[in-house]
Amino acid sequence: MEFNSLTAVSPVDGRYARQTEPLREYFSEYALIRYRVRVEIEYFIALCSIPLPQLADFDSGKFEALRDIYRNMTAEDAAKVKEIEKVTNHDVKAVEYYIKDRFKEMDILKWGEFVHFGLTSQDINNTSVPLSFKEAMEEVYLPLLQEVLDTITSFAEQWKDIPMLAKTHGQPASPTRMGKEFKVFQVRIEEQLRQLSALTYPAKFGGATGNMNAHKVAYPSIDWIGFGNSFVDSLGLKRSFPTTQIEHYDNLASLFDNIRRINTILIDLSRDIWTYISMEYFRQKVNKNEVGSSAMPHKVNPIDFENAEGNLGIADAILTHLSMKLPISRLQRDLTDSTVLRNIGMPLAHGIIALNSLKKGLGKLILNEDAIRMDLERNWAVVAEAIQTVLRRENYPNPYETLKALTRTGKGITTRPSLNSSIILKLQKT
């Protein structure tokens, strides 16, 4: 069966392919190969820049041509790597051989053995994957999240003076303001983004068991620890040290957990807005061509917020597994991280679907001030908190009990409550 959006197994590459397409540059098999080639090339250039004695005569004017190998890499080029992999049965070794083939084309194969010099596969994988994750976050995910945050922030300002009935435990409670409730979500997200900005994207770069053994044997006078730190830093990552054969993933797990907290806040927002729509505090802009229900023509369902909630939940489930599984590896390394790490783009894909839904849903909201005002008018009992607090200040006897008897009649209070003369006297003094 031909692969396309209709035959894809995952909705990320099927139904929602148009939304998640930007992530293909970071998390597809093609992208992983391109990032691996990038790390290998940049590593070779870094060795030339030490310089190693055998690389001292390498023409630095060719560095940009080397970088073009990954900068101009196509899906057809990646397919060549996969063909080599069929022979090697090893994905990273296939990348090494592909680069050597390109060196041969450039007539620089005499330096080819310094491609992948002293490295193990995980030096490439545990640098390529966090680099792709970092750039996907910075270039795709966070800008979209910022758009949603900007809308929330604008609502907080736009509706800052709109009074509304609060609901605690689903029951009428002391009044609040619509803008303030959006401000709560704004501040919560901003705090998580502040914490996220303080986190670093980690990489492992240290040879077969993390000790730079082969490097040290070959060139004992070079500070390979300092070299590794500097090289990883040049990629915008932070080198983890010491490590085993693989990255210990603790800091990557911190990133996952932080994103999960942001998602949880957005689930909370989605559910609140869904509820406000059901209370008619919000109406939704209508597209005359859309169908809300296959049976009930009148319905305009809050599907954007439901879609966001569902996809954020899936993203959180994957992020939870990633952050709990990846830091665990038997002794110096087992292979369980390899297949799991290939799913690192999935929570961002579901997150992007959710953010697009939130962006669309928030853009359809119309504040229904009449419904908000009517709800306040139906619930005068909520002023009891303020009244009993003032009476406490005035030392009125048993103010809480007095207001409790006045307001908990079981009939509700839909007009201004009648107070006895002694209470009115006390209130007038304030």
Query: Active-site positions?
Result: 169, 293
Burial class of residue 31 in the structure, from the number of CB atoms within 10 Å of its CB (0-12 exposed, 13-18 middle, 19+ buried)? buried
Q: What is residue 20's three-state secondary structure?
A: helix
If you search the block for the tokens 């390394």, which residue do you land on?
A: 333
Give the integer Cα–Cα distance in Å for 412 and 368: 23
The number of residues in the chain equals 430
Q: What are phi and psi of 168, to 5 degrees?
A: -110, 135
- Please choose, from the candidates 422, 373, 423, 400, the residue with its C-alpha nearest in 3D space to the C-alpha of residue 408: 400
Torsion (CA) 122, 125, 128, 133 in degrees, nearest 10: -120
- Pairing state between β 238-239 and 202-203: parallel
Residue 289 backbone phi and psi in degrees, to 5:
-90, -10
Within its chain, how far is the Cα of 261 from the centroid? 9
